[in-house]
Amino acid sequence: MSACAYCKHRKGKRPCPALGVICSVCCGEHRIVRVACPPDCTYLGTGSEYQQKRLSEQFMPLRREFYREIGEAGGEKAVALYNLIEVVTFSYFHGRRDGQDAEVVTAVQALRRTLSPLHVPSAPMPVFAEHLKKEYETFKKQNPQQIADASTAPDVLDRALKFVSDFSGQDFQSQRYLSGLIGYVKAYHPDIAAHLTKQQQAGHIVLPGQSFMPPSAPEPHTHGPGCEHRHH
């Protein structure tokens, strides 16, 4: 029996469309995250929820810190812009197995270019990039005082690009960011996830507002006089 194509140590017992044969451990730990799994893989459906949950736990504290960073740098309008990116991204990719982080990166880069005063439209944008652009323009038109504009958005988008790219990692066809974001919304904001899955029409995305914001980090607690915690 051949060795696992990923770890090279354990026996490869599972046929892997991406690598050849793979052991069950590497299949469970690295599918989608580090292995470019095709959407028709028989093992993908059973593991995608697990991967999303696992990555959501890694994603949550980093996301909270990123929101703190952009809030301090650009205020509520900066926060609203990145929140819109998350909402549009979740709504577009939550039902797709073949979505890749590179699509998000490309879309954010394209949005940044369109906001440049030197931008000259050229070739058609990728589908998700065009979708994100339309959602931003619609929201900006309807709520001009609530979201970063062309003068402040580029800095927010540069920070967003770094955040997405850092979490995504260097693996080809990575889905770490998408899995982390989708898993986070499903796990920590199930009502919002259910609401967003029903929004299908372009230009009708509604920002969930503060309920979608990261929870504050818990305050450190010191036991002492007056502490009501019971010790067992």
144: in domain: yes
Per-position b or e across 132-145, b if 16+ CB within 10 A of its CB: bbebbeebbeeeee
Three-state SS string across 33-85, please?
CCECCCCCCCCHHHHHHHHHHHHHHHHHHHHHHHHHHHHHHHHHHHHHHHHHH
pLDDT, one tens digit for every residue, the chain (232 residues): 799 999 999 999 899 988 999 998 898 878 766 787 776 787 776 557 777 888 999 999 999 999 999 999 999 999 999 999 999 999 999 988 789 999 999 999 999 999 887 766 667 889 999 999 999 999 999 998 999 999 999 999 999 999 999 999 987 678 899 999 999 999 999 888 888 887 654 444 555 444 466 655 554 544 555 555 544 4
The answer to whether 187 touches 53, Cβ cutoff 8 Å, is yes
Tokens 């323009």 map to which residue?
137
219: in domain: no
The answer to whether 86 touches 92, Cβ cutoff 8 Å, is no
174: in domain: yes
115: in domain: yes
pTM for the predicted model, two decimal places: 0.74
Write out the residue range of the structural domain in which residue 65 sits.
50-207
165: in domain: yes
221: in domain: no
225: in domain: no
228: in domain: no
The total domain count for the chain is: 1
Instruction: Tell me if residue 149 falls in helix, strand or coil.
Output: coil
The answer to whether 66 touches 89, Cβ cutoff 8 Å, is no
